Structure 1
Amino acid sequence: MATKEITLEAAAALIPDGAVVSVSSSSGLGCPDLMLKAIGERFEATGRPRQLTTLHPIAAGDMSGIKGVDHIARKGLLARIIGGSYPSGPSTSEPPLIWQMIGANEIPAYNIPSGILFDMHREAAAKRPGVITKVGLDTFVDPQNQGCAMNAAAAAVPIVKKLDFEGEEWLFFPSIAPDVAIIRATTADERGNLTYEHEGAYLGGLDQALAARNSGGIVIAQVKRVTKEGTLKPHDVRVPGMLVDYIVVDPDQKQTTQTLYDPAISGEIFHPLDSFGVPDFNIQKVIARRVAQELQSGSCVNLGFGISANVPRILLEEGLHGAITWVIEQGAVGGVPLLDFAFGCSSNADAYMPSPYQFTYFQGGGFDASLLSFLEIGRDGSVNVSKLSFRPHVTAGAGGFVDITARAKKIVFSGMFNAGAKLSIDAGKLVIEKEGKLKKLVNEVEHITFSGKRAVAQGQDITYVTERCVLKLTPDGIVLTEIAPGVDLATHILDQSEFPLIVSPDLKIMDAALFAEAPIGLSLPAKPQRKLKGA
């Protein structure tokens, strides 16, 4: 049989002008970087392909050695970009090219929640008209706000509309059929069957390949190696060769950002638990410890980037590893979620779910809690994590944040009470040496990534944990429930909020153990036994 393996240059030449191209990636994890580079180089040399629409359910590239979408961020090459998130880079460096294009209004750019963007692929594959969902109502996703538009060029061409369906409000996202899907795996056989043995996640490659194939398009798979047909075990094949048209090889593809290969990330070995570091004692660790006190043993808990990503390490230090099953949007279930550039991967995982199915789990609220960060908290309890006007080039997008929070039973948001404060800990007390200049509790958040109004209407359990206090969202407003030792209620909390906080009549002092270096003796109550309604 004829081989499906071709050169990168030949693969780039297959992409016609005006094509819709779907790219499987999550920052540096699973990014088909060499294929994207080949497309950019072809454009630089020939001026083709032109006017592409690219779809990125999770960001392609991260500016730390894996350029991803920045390879193709060129005037004339891109006509439109639709992403769940966008590459992030050091705030002190020159912004990524794609951020510059978005900020300069050179192309319409949209930030659709990652799970919905995967759903749009699935609907396109099945020849259905689109996605009807409540995910995103009353957030920046809602047409009454920004409607997912990241700039004026996108606002002029709406991508979502509101429907009345059987007396209820819903959002409708039309299907988008890709002409080309670019996915990544570890191994391809000569027939194009793909296995993922060195990958840290399956991501959404199968769904993206189905959408392209069923729409009359082509599928290009970047892999590390090619093997003889018939040598892959059928149960190991995650994308069958009947969906794959072409194979390109990058023998040096990184497993994820700054990680060439770690077999524990792909579940081939398990690292000893004592090989995982625990956080140094600092203000962020205090917050992560207090977040950990919100958990119940036996729960399945989602993690976001930021302070909350350290909570699994708090449980490790407290001898409670395994009490919580961690679930992250890239698909890992269980194990020890990794930090920094490896965020999105887990070592020692129990299982890997394809991202689209993980998002179905999140959108339906099947998990027990989510631990996330905040940039701003509004008077009505809404949270912004997706935009700040004083950082105009930061357009990383919200990823799966909106999918995760839409129906989560319990959410614990964590962050610093305000920005820029000089803080220390002395003798078990928080010392505020200099107050921050930027308040984070504001009358109205700049961008609604999470709707406090919908949370109250749905009865979601919402807690905000900071270094100096703990707050709860109630139908009456935001209630101050705990205060850190050493903090003055009026000066350090009430006066630092743009809106009045309700002080609980049962206001407590935060556990003093949080503010000492030694482990806190954490004990988690058991999650109640699951029962059917009415049983």
Structure 2
Amino acid sequence: MDKQVATAEEALAGVTDGQSFAVGGFGLSGVPDTLINALYATGVCGLSVVSNNCGVDGRGLGILLAAGRIARVTGSYVGNNKEFARQYLAGELEVELTPQGTLAERLRAGGSGIPAFFTPAGVGTQVAEGGLPWRYAADGSVAVASPPKEVRDFDGTPYVLERGITTDYALVRAARGDRHGNLVFNRAAQNFNPLAAMAGRITVAEVEELVEPGVLDPDEVHLPGVFVQRVVALTSEQAADKPVERRTVRQR
């Protein structure tokens, strides 16, 4: 029952080239930076990443991307990451863009043992019909395009079939957690972290505040420990490191 490990490096022991990772976070909110840095330090490459976005230049998954460690990304938002856009357009990176809600449900479905589901999102577009560029060639032509997906009519409405997602590992960040792996996420960090955690066969959580089992009220737990295999307690400095992606100040 005790899933605590001493360091992020110990929590990622055993990762190898070519493995897949579901990574929590939304923009820079709730991103498991300590675990990502530890993954970078292992030197593994050829990774497949499933995440809402791929970090920003020099932060989060952006450090793995800049080092050429990521081979494929499944996500919904390129965002303010110039290196992401450059690698994709240059044919160095395979990218599967999917609607944000569909991505969330694909992670939840995979974690719930549901192989596929029907959704109206994407019907009538290249999401369903195929042809989205997954990888470009050096000359700018499309080297790999998305395949068409099954579309079925239910009560007069068309729906497209989407596959659930499971990954070798999941990396998430929680505001509070206990040694049994029960986790609580803070505000926007709850968007993708619980879903990414569900999809991983081995889920590693970095926790800003680690408490003893029984301290967390069951009603406040966002993700039960059954989905978590390893827990790392952050130092106070690591827990306080929360950059702002875009700061906007309104004139009075």
TM class by smaller structure: 0.7 to 0.9
- Pair 1:106-2:92 in alignment: yes
Retained in 2: the 8 A contact 1:21–1:182? yes
Larger CA Rg, structure 1 vs 2: 1
Cα distance in 2, alignment partners of residues 32 and 126 from structure 1: 23
TM-score, length basis structure 1:
0.41
Cα distance in 2, alignment partners of residues 202 and 16 from structure 1: 28
Report the CA distance shift for 1:170/1:200 in structure 2 as closer, same or farther (over 3 A).
closer
What's the secondary structure of 2:239's corresponding residue?
coil
Letter in 1 for 2:193: G
- Pair 1:34-2:34 in alignment: yes
Please report how far the alpha carbon of residue 155 of structure 1 lies from its aligned counterpart in structure 2 after TM superposition: 5.9
Report the CA distance shift for 1:74/1:201 in structure 2 as closer, same or farther (over 3 A).
closer
- Pair 1:242-2:231 in alignment: no
> What does 1:176-195 align with in structure 2 at a 5 Å threshold?
176-195=165-184
What's the secondary structure of 1:224's corresponding residue?
strand
Retained in 2: the 8 A contact 1:189–1:229? yes
Q: Which has the higher strand share?
A: 2
2:53 paired residue among 35, 59, 84: 59
Retained in 2: the 8 A contact 1:112–1:141? yes
Cα deviation code 1:478-519 (max 9, x no counterpart): xxxxxxxxxxxxxxxxxxxxxxxxxxxxxxxxxxxxxxxxxx
Retained in 1: the 8 A contact 2:25–2:189? no
- Pair 1:205-2:199 in alignment: no
Please report how far the alpha carbon of residue 102 of structure 1 lies from its aligned counterpart in structure 2 after TM superposition: 1.3
Please report how far the alpha carbon of residue 179 of structure 1 lies from its aligned counterpart in structure 2 after TM superposition: 1.6
Cα deviation code 1:435-470 (max 9, x no counterpart): xxxxxxxxxxxxxxxxxxxxxxxxxxxxxxxxxxxx
Look up the match of 2:106: 120
Structure 1 stretches of 4+ moved >4 Å? 166-169, 277-280
Higher RCO structure (Cα 8 Å, ≥6 apart): 2
Cα distance in 2, alignment partners of residues 35 and 160 from structure 1: 36
Cα distance in 2, alignment partners of residues 132 and 61 from structure 1: 29
Letter in 2 for 1:161: K
Report the CA distance shift for 1:127/1:191 in structure 2 as closer, same or farther (over 3 A).
closer
Cα deviation code 1:144-168 (max 9, x no counterpart): 5x43x35426862525524244676
Look up the match of 1:171: 160
Cα distance in 2, alignment partners of residues 34 and 87 from structure 1: 21
> What does 1:403-422 align with in structure 2 at a 5 Å threshold?
none
Retained in 1: the 8 A contact 2:134–2:146? no
Look up the match of 1:77: 69
What's the secondary structure of 2:181's corresponding residue?
coil
What's the secondary structure of 2:37's corresponding residue?
helix
Cα distance in 2, alignment partners of residues 178 and 163 from structure 1: 25
Report the CA distance shift for 1:160/1:5 in structure 2 as closer, same or farther (over 3 A).
farther
Retained in 2: the 8 A contact 1:185–1:224? yes
Look up the match of 2:5: 5
Moved more, 234-243 or 23-32: 234-243
> What does 1:380-391 align with in structure 2 at a 5 Å threshold?
none
Please report how far the alpha carbon of residue 30 of structure 1 lies from its aligned counterpart in structure 2 after TM superposition: 0.6
Cα distance in 1, alignment partners of residues 226 and 112 from structure 2: 17
Report the CA distance shift for 1:74/1:13 in structure 2 as closer, same or farther (over 3 A).
farther
- Pair 1:227-2:211 in alignment: yes
Please report how far the alpha carbon of residue 78 of structure 1 lies from its aligned counterpart in structure 2 after TM superposition: 2.1
Letter in 2 for 1:36: I
Cα distance in 2, alignment partners of residues 205 and 256 from structure 1: 16
Cα distance in 1, alignment partners of residues 151 and 195 from structure 2: 26
Cα distance in 1, alignment partners of residues 233 and 242 from structure 2: 17
